[in-house]
């Protein structure tokens, strides 16, 4: 068996469908009000993974986790749970809890990945702030709205140019982190251990395509922002300011819509072994009809991460001001254009701590959202239960080769 982080397809498509779009759960017991369970009519095409091979383990005590008797209505407490989440449609709390449990259960592997990425990102960020980023001189009193907007755009442009190398390093490091964490979380769902070496072995073949996906999404986002700001820049003056504000609002709405629509493309690419465009299509299909739900979960996750980052960062910020207050005062007053070394080092340590703990939570929510959408649309939980049952038999030669 190839013990990969991929989720198998939901099984053979019914005779009425060609690409799995009409796939649904097998007929099951009616719900509490007597009606049959309803599933979405618009199903995404099934993934291209193959179910795990090997003999089916014999039934008996201890083989199926809390297996319910035939004819018993589906009850959440009876769902099999070989890993960090029960194998059934998940609630918001269960998705967040599953991400935290993955960090706790595999903390050695997870923190090795995230601390390394956080240290690299913060180190290059500190160097960029010290040597590459220059603070734009403040505007004098009586500046017009057009001048204020021009000053803001120049500040943003200067920051982007100065932070460019650091952003590139952060992008590559975050990409590798996301790939490795996807493997770890996919194993944690089935209750299987994973080492850093085996996670790297599984993720390495997908890194180039994941890089292509990331760059494509970044290019799409930049094109949306450029299209929103271009009319105001062309017109100029007071009308240009109004157009810029309206264009910025429209670009923000389009950016958020695209961000959520393609938010599941990364786990789809890693776990289904498809191409970049195919992964974007898979994400769009999985999010279709659930955009607001996915948006709410992503927004809640980012809000919680922001609050956690704020709570952790405030003490380090106060400490940085205490050890380098003069440098910060000079920067605010305009007499200096760079942060002092003590300030950058202290805030950088705080950044390493917050990033190391928030990276796995963000990645975990994304992967679990992907799994949840496939469970709801493709009955993936049935295949995951089958795959999890294979973990209590002697591994096949293919299992030993992978090391899972």
Asked whether 1 and 53 are in contact (CB, 8 A), the reply is yes
Domain span at 102:
92-142+156-201+277-388
Q: Is residue 79 part of a domain?
A: no
* Beta strands per DSSP E along 9-61: none
Q: What does the buried/exposed string (b/e) look like for 195-234 if buried means 16 or more CB atoms within 10 Å of the residue's CB? A: bbebbebbbeebbebbbebbebbeebeeebbeebbeebee
Q: How many CB atoms lie within 10 A of CB 87?
A: 23
Q: How many CB atoms lie within 10 A of CB 29?
A: 12
Number of residues written out for the chain: 404
In this structure, what DSSP letter does residue 77 have?
A: G
What is the predicted pLDDT for the residue at 271? Answer: 93
Burial class of residue 99, CB neighbours in 10 A (0-12, 13-18, 19+): buried
Distance CA 375, CA 25 (A): 9
| Number of domains within the chain | 1
Q: Compute the C-alpha angle 332/304/187, nearest 5°.
A: 125
Q: Is residue 14 part of a domain?
A: no
Average pLDDT, 10 consecutive residues per value, the chain (404 residues): 44 39 42 42 48 41 41 54 92 95 93 92 82 62 65 64 70 87 94 90 93 92 88 76 87 94 95 93 95 96 95 91 67 56 88 93 95 94 82 36 29
Distance CA 109, CA 192 (A): 13
Q: Is residue 246 part of a domain?
A: no
Asked whether 283 and 269 are in contact (CB, 8 A), the reply is no
CA 356 to each of CA 51, 115, 121, 194: distance values in angstroms, whole numbers, following the listed order: 34, 5, 11, 19
What is the predicted pLDDT for the residue at 299? Answer: 96
Q: Is residue 402 part of a domain?
A: no
Q: Is residue 285 part of a domain?
A: yes
Asked whether 25 and 379 are in contact (CB, 8 A), the reply is yes
Helix or strand (DSSP H, E) at 160: helix 145-189
Distance CA 298, CA 364 (A): 11
What is the predicted pLDDT for the residue at 151? Answer: 61
What is the predicted pLDDT for the residue at 323? Answer: 83
CA 95 to each of CA 84, 163, 210, 264, 338: distance values in angstroms, whole numbers, following the listed order: 9, 34, 23, 14, 41
What is the predicted pLDDT for the residue at 9? Answer: 41
Q: Is residue 20 part of a domain?
A: no
Burial class of residue 81, CB neighbours in 10 A (0-12, 13-18, 19+): middle
pTM of model > 0.75: no
User: Which of 75, 74, 59 lies closest to 26 in space, CA to CA?
Assistant: 74
Distance CA 93, CA 68 (A): 24
Q: Is residue 350 part of a domain?
A: yes
Distance CA 404, CA 3 (A): 6
What is the predicted pLDDT for the residue at 329? Answer: 58
Asked whether 260 and 289 are in contact (CB, 8 A), the reply is no
What is the predicted pLDDT for the residue at 267? Answer: 95
Q: Is residue 172 part of a domain?
A: yes
């Amino acid at each position: 068996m190839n013990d990969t982080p991929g989720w198998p397809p939901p099984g053979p498509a019914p005779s009425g469908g060609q690409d799995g779009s009409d796939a649904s759960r097998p007929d099951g017991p009616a719900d509490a009000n007597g009606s049959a369970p309803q599933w979405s009519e618009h199903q995404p095409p099934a993934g291209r993974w193959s179910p795990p091979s090997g003999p089916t383990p014999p039934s008996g005590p201890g083989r199926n986790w809390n297996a319910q008797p035939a004819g018993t209505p589906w009850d959440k407490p009876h769902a099999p749970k070989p890993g960090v989440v029960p194998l059934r449609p998940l609630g918001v709390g269960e998705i967040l809890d599953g991400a935290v449990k993955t960090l706790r259960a595999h903390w050695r592997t997870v923190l090795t990945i995230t601390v390394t990425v956080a240290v690299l990102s913060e180190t290059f960020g500190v160097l960029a702030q010290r040597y590459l980023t220059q603070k734009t001189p403040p505007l004098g009193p009586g500046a017009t709205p057009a001048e204020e907007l021009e000053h803001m755009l120049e500040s943003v442009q200067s920051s982007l140019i100065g932070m460019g190398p650091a952003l590139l390093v952060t992008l590559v490091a975050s990409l590798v982190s996301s790939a490795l964490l996807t493997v770890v979380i996919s194993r944690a769902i089935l209750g299987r251990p994973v080492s850093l070496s085996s996670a790297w072995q599984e993720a390495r073949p997908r890194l180039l395509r994941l890089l292509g996906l990331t760059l494509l999404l970044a290019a799409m986002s930049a094109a949306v922002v450029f299209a929103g700001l271009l009319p105001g820049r062309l017109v100029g003056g007071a009308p240009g300011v109004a157009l810029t504000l309206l264009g910025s609002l429209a670009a923000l709405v389009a950016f958020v819509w695209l961000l959520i629509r393609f938010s599941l493309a990364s786990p789809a690419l890693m776990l289904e072994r498809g191409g970049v465009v195919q992964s974007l299509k898979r994400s769009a299909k999985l999010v279709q009809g659930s955009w607001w739900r996915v948006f709410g979960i992503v927004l809640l996750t980012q809000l919680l991460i922001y609050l956690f980052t704020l709570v952790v960062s405030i003490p380090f910020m106060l400490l940085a001001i205490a050890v380098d207050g003069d440098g910060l005062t000079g920067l605010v007053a305009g007499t200096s254009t760079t942060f002092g070394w003590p300030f950058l080092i202290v805030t950088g340590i705080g950044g390493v701590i917050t990033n190391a703990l928030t990276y796995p939570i963000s990645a975990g929510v994304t992967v679990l959202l992907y799994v949840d959408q496939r469970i709801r649309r493709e009955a993936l939980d049935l295949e995951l239960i089958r795959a999890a049952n294979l973990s209590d038999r002697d591994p096949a030669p293919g299992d030993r080769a992978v090391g899972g």
